[in-house]
Amino acid sequence: MEPSRAVLNSFQDRYAAPPRFLAHAPGRVNLIGEHTDYSDGFVLPMAIDRAVWIAFTPLPGRTVEVLSLDFNERLAFDLDTLKKDGPGWVEYIKGVAWALEQAGHSLGGWRGVVAGNVPVGAGLSSSAALELAAARAFASSSGLEWDAPKMALIGQQAENEWVGMRCGIMDQMISACGVQGHAVLIDCRSLHCQPAPLPAGTVVVVMDTATRRELVGSAYNERREQIEAAARYFGVVALRDVTRMRLENYLHDLDDLTGKRAHHVITENQRVLEAVQAMQAGDAGAFGRLMNESHASLRDDFEVSSLALDAIVECAQGHPACYGARMTGAGFGGCAVALVRADAVDRFSADVARQYTERTGLEPQMIICRASAGASVSVLT
């Protein structure tokens, strides 16, 4: 059953009344611009037709009660005595409540049922989707005005300071600000968004390698520290402010590792801007070449790919229906993404899945994604 239907049915069964609201927030796939958001750089993700839904009704007091259908667990917490309770899905909801209260909002409670179909831990931002769906639930039950970029910042703060993952702003921004049928160029400094239509006759295919990397948090934080060290070396707030020419002039002074990391970020920012131009020109071939270059840079300079990601990307890049392919998200496992000719997408999916299995013994999931709108809420009763 579709999760949106499942949460509505389950709410009705449990409380013998329909929910007042249905919140929805999508996962995302990033087309290009990887590990650039925390350098105030550019990213080009799209929200996908995989999401988290919360069916809920406001409660008079300050208690939040949530049943997760995916984890088969019902948890409750009090907004007056918020405290961290180790890892778990409800911490993302609590973290959003905490960040909203920190921002000066006084929240009301609610009870609800949550479920989603964004694969967890695959690099498709199931956590940002949960954060933004929770933000929608708190906004509706507490009468808060919905300001999408502000709510994205709330989600990021929840993840940074409550959950303890130092993520950038990309995932929350695209879950909040997605545009149907479009990828969105996000300037991660100003949070300005510019929708860019996918080239005609192409589709985006997410390729889940069926591998997950446990230590992604520590490797991610280590990359952030390296990038911050590079910014300090150049005396700038963020690597966004270093041009490629300046980097090349100073490369011999930098240690090898810092030089490689900075090289990825600075060239990737440039690729994102070129990719938007390619999209505006409807040039799928140019866009695909930039995706391929992005993958090589993430593999060789930023060193966040994996054998499984390289294998699936190579299978995709070698296929005649593919314009380009790269790993997507934080890396080390999870998903890659390909831009594919729409009229040959079934053939592409079957061929790449078969070749990848022959090479690795793993069974990938091929997900054809449609670009979707950002977080929303419907009033039901």
- Distance, in Å, from the CA atom of 379 to the CA atom of 282, rounded to the nearest integer, reads 38
Nearer to ligand GLA, 170 or 196 (CB): 170
To ligand GLA, the closest distance from the beta carbon of 235 in angstroms equals 23
**27 lies in the binding site for ligand GLA (CB under 6 A):** no
Choosing from 37, 40, 171, 301, the catalytic residue is 171
To ligand GLA, the closest distance from the beta carbon of 168 in angstroms equals 3
Residue 355 one-letter amino acid: Q
Burial of 225 (0-12, 13-18, 19+ CB in 10 A): exposed
Binding mask 33-52 for ligand GLA (x = CB under 6 A): -xx-xx--------------
Binding mask 156-195 for ligand GLA (x = CB under 6 A): -----------xx-xx------------------------
Phi, psi of 211, deg, nearest 5 = -120, 150
To ligand GLA, the closest distance from the beta carbon of 156 in angstroms equals 8
Among 272, 266, 225, 236, residue whose Cα is nearest residue 248: 266
Number of residues this chain uses to bind ligand GLA (CB under 6 A) = 10
To ligand GLA, the closest distance from the beta carbon of 225 in angstroms equals 14
Nearer to ligand GLA, 7 or 32 (CB): 32
Nearer to ligand GLA, 311 or 335 (CB): 335
- Distance, in Å, from the CA atom of 112 to the CA atom of 81, rounded to the nearest integer, reads 20
- Distance, in Å, from the CA atom of 230 to the CA atom of 262, rounded to the nearest integer, reads 7
**266 lies in the binding site for ligand GLA (CB under 6 A):** no
Nearer to ligand GLA, 107 or 122 (CB): 122
- Is 171 among the residues known to form the active site? yes
CA angle (95, 99, 105) in 5-degree steps: 130
Count the neighbouring beta carbons within 10 Å of the beta carbon of residue 254. Answer: 18
To ligand GLA, the closest distance from the beta carbon of 81 in angstroms equals 29
Three-class secondary structure of residue 68 per DSSP? strand
* Interface positions, 320-379, toward ligand GLA (CB under 6 A): 329-330
Whether the CB-CB separation of 178 and 204 falls below 8 Å is answered with no
- Distance, in Å, from the CA atom of 25 to the CA atom of 172, rounded to the nearest integer, reads 10
Catalytic residue numbers, as ranges:
171
Using CB under 6 A, list all residues that contact ligand GLA: 34-35, 37-38, 167-168, 170-171, 329-330
